[in-house]
Chain A
Amino acid sequence: MRPAVSQDVLLALLADARLPTGAHTQSAGLEPALRAGLHPDDVPAYLAARLRTVVRVESATAVVARHAVLRGLGASGVDTPAATAALRVVEGEWAARTPSAALRRSSEQLGRGYLRLARRLWAGHPALAALEAVPRGPVGHAAGGAGRTAPAGPAGAGRAGPPGSSGRGRRGPARPLVLGVTAACAGLDPIGVARLVALDDVQTVASAFLKLAPVDPLVTTGWVLAAAPAVDALARDVAHLTVAADLPAAGAPLTEEWAEAHVHATERLFSA
C-alpha cells in the first residue's frame, strides 16, 4: 500500500496544470464562445454560468462515480462486476445529461488523458479494473437502473459514422467517470473531487483566454479567485450525492450549440 497522502496534496497534484493529461488542448468552450461573439468582459459571467450548468453536471458525476465504484466494490473491495455495473448506470445518466455529442467526445478525450495517468499511478487498483471493464459502444444499452432487465446490445453496434453524426460509439470513459474512479483509487474525498472538476474548468477557461486574447495573466488569475466561492459552493452542493438518477441536469443550450459548431470550425486553437 501507498503511504497516505493528505487531501490537500492530492487535490493540488490532480488540479495541477502540469499534470500530463492533455488539458492544454481544451478551452472549456471558450474558443467557440468567443468566436460566436461572447464579449471578453463577459468571461467571468460565462465562468459562473458554466459552474451553474455543465460543470455542475460533470462535478456531480465525478462524485457519484466515486461513490458508485467504492460501494460496488463492497466491503471486500474486490467486487469488480458490481462496481462496473454501478459505473455503467452513472455513465448512462451522465450521457443523457450531455446531449451534445461534441461535448461527450471532448469529455472522452480528456478522460483518456486521466486514464493514462491512473493506469500508471494506481495500476491494479480494483476501482480502475471496474472502470476498464465497462463495455464500450452503445453504452446505454445495458445501463438501465436497478430492476431493469434490458438485454445488452451487440458489442460495438452502431459505431459507424463520423464523430458527431451519431450519438453512439463511445471510445472511452468520460472524464468525470475517470476522475471519480481516480478519486476512489487515490483516496480523495467527495468534496475534493467535486472541487477538482469545478476548479479545473475555471482554470481551463482562464488559461485558454490568455492564448486567445491579449491580456495580463493577473487579470485571468483574478477571475479564478473571484470564481472560487462559486467553486466551493458547487462542491458543497454536490459532495453528498450518491444516486445517479439524482444528478443535477442543468443544461446550457448555447454552450452546446457552440460546441457542435466548433467541431466543424477550421483554424481552431483548441479541440473544444
Chain B
Amino acid sequence: MSLSLSTGDLAAPVLRPPRPAARAEPPSPVARPEPPAPVATTVRVERRAGRAVVDLRRGALAPYLLDDDGRTVRVALVAAGALLLGGDDVRVRVHVGAGAALELVETSGTVAYDGRGRGARWRVDVVVEDGGVLVWDAQPFVVASGADVDRGTTVRLGAGAVACLRETLVLGRSGEAGGRLRTALRVDGPGGPVLVEDLHLDGARPEPGVLGGHRVLDQVVLAGRRPDPGPVPAGRGAPTVLALEEPGAVARRLGDEVHRVALTDVAAAWCVQAGRQHAG
C-alpha cells in the first residue's frame, strides 16, 4: 500500500487538547466564561507520485481512514460526541490536493436538538485544488423543533476540479414542525462563482414558494463539470434538475418525508461522473 499518514494527528479516539483558534471570536458582551475555541475537524488528502498523504484531525467529528484504492481515498466522518447541541460550533475543513480524489462517508445523520435558547453553528470549508475530486454523499441534517442553526458551506474549486455534494435538510423529527435553519452555500470555480444560495427556513413559519409545506429538501450539487447528458427524470416525485450558468448542476427534491431514494440514482450517477473527471 502506498499510503502514508502524517503522525500525531490520526483520528484515534483520544481527546486532544484544543488548539488555539486561528481566528478568535470577538469577545462576547455577556459575562459568561468563554467557551473553548472550536477545533476544526480536518481532512486533508494529497497524492504525491501515487502515494496518498492523508492528514486527519479530530474535532467535533472524528475522521477515520477507510481505504485507498490507489485513486480515491475514502474517509469516514463520525460524530465524536453528542451533536448538535445549543452553543455547539462545529467546523470542518476539507482539503483535496491537486489531482487527488477524496470520498467522505458519513455513517449517520446529524440531529440539531432544541438548543433551549442557544443557537448552534455548523461550518464546512472545502478546497479542491486543480484536477482534484471530492465526493460527499452526506447523511440527513435534521433540525429539531427549538433548534436554531447556522450552517455555512464554502467550496473553492481549482481548474478541472470537481465536487459532488449531497445535502439533505430536514425540518423536524417525526411529528415535529422543526426549528430554524439558516444555510449559506457558496461554490467558487476557476471562472467565478458557480452557486451562491442561502436558505432561511423556519419549521414554524412555512413560506409559499420557499419550501411551502414541505419539510425536506434533498439535493445533490455537482460543481466543476456538467452532468452527462442523459434521460431527465420525469413524473411525480422526480427531482428538479437545475443547470447552472457555470459548469455545474443541482438536482433537488422537496418532500414531506426523508425518501432519499428519489435522488439516489442522480447522486450515484453524478458522483461517478465526478470521479471520472479525475480518471480522465
Which residues of A line the B interface, CB within 8 A? 29, 33, 38, 42, 45-46, 48-50, 52-53, 89, 92-93, 95-101, 104, 138-145, 148, 150, 153, 164-168, 170, 245, 247-258, 260-261
Contacts and interface: CB of A to CB of B under 8 A. Distances in A.
Contacts of B184: 249
A96 B244 contact: yes
Secondary structure of the B contact surface, majority rule: strand
24 contacts: A29-B209, A38-B212, A42-B208, A45-B208, A52-B200, A92-B193, A95-B245, A95-B246, A96-B195, A96-B244, A99-B250, A140-B246, A141-B192, A150-B192, A166-B243, A167-B242, A252-B209, A252-B210, A253-B210, A253-B217, A253-B252, A254-B211, A254-B254, A256-B252
A96 B214 contact: no
A99 B192 contact: no
B240 interface: yes
A97 B197 contact: yes
A236 to B, nearest CB: 19
A254 B242 contact: no
Contacts of A89: 192
B192 to A, nearest CB: 4
Nearest to B234: A264
A100 B245 contact: no
Contacts of A254: 208-212, 214, 254
A96 B209 contact: no
Interface string B167-205: 000000000000000001011011111111111100000
Given A256-B240, A256-B242, A92 B200 contact: no
B240 A257 contact: yes
A167 B249 contact: yes
B75 to A, nearest CB: 28
Contact of A99 (B200, B244, B247): B244
A258 B243 CA distance: 15
B199 A250 contact: yes
Contacts of A140: 189, 191-194, 245-246
The range of chain B's interface size is 35 or more
B9 interface: no
A138 B245 CA distance: 7
A100 B242 contact: yes
Given A104-B245, A253-B217, A141 B191 contact: yes
Contact of A92 (B190, B192, B211, B250): B192
A203 to B, nearest CB: 17
A140 B243 CA distance: 14
A140 B208 CA distance: 31
Residue with the greatest number of chain B CB neighbours at <10 A, chosen from A53, A143, A254: A254
Given A45-B208, A49-B210, A165 B243 contact: yes
Contacts of A148: 190, 192
A260 B209 contact: no
Nearest to A38: B208
A50 B208 CA distance: 9
A248 B198 contact: yes
Interface in B19-47: none
Given A49-B209, A53-B209, A260-B242, A96 B199 contact: no
Contact of B198 (A92, A145, A251, A260): A251
Contact of B254 (A38, A42, A257): A257
B208 A46 contact: yes
Contacts of B93: none
Given A97-B197, A256-B242, A257-B254, A145 B212 contact: no
Contacts of B195: 96, 99
Contacts of A139: 245
Nearest to B194: A96
Contact of A255 (B193, B196, B209): B209
B8 to A, nearest CB: 35
B211 to A, nearest CB: 6
Given A167-B226, A252-B210, 11 more contacts: A33-B208, A38-B208, A52-B200, A96-B245, A104-B245, A148-B190, A153-B191, A167-B248, A251-B199, A251-B210, A256-B240
Nearest to B217: A253
Contacts of B214: 254
Nearest to B195: A96
A166 B226 contact: yes
B85 to A, nearest CB: 27
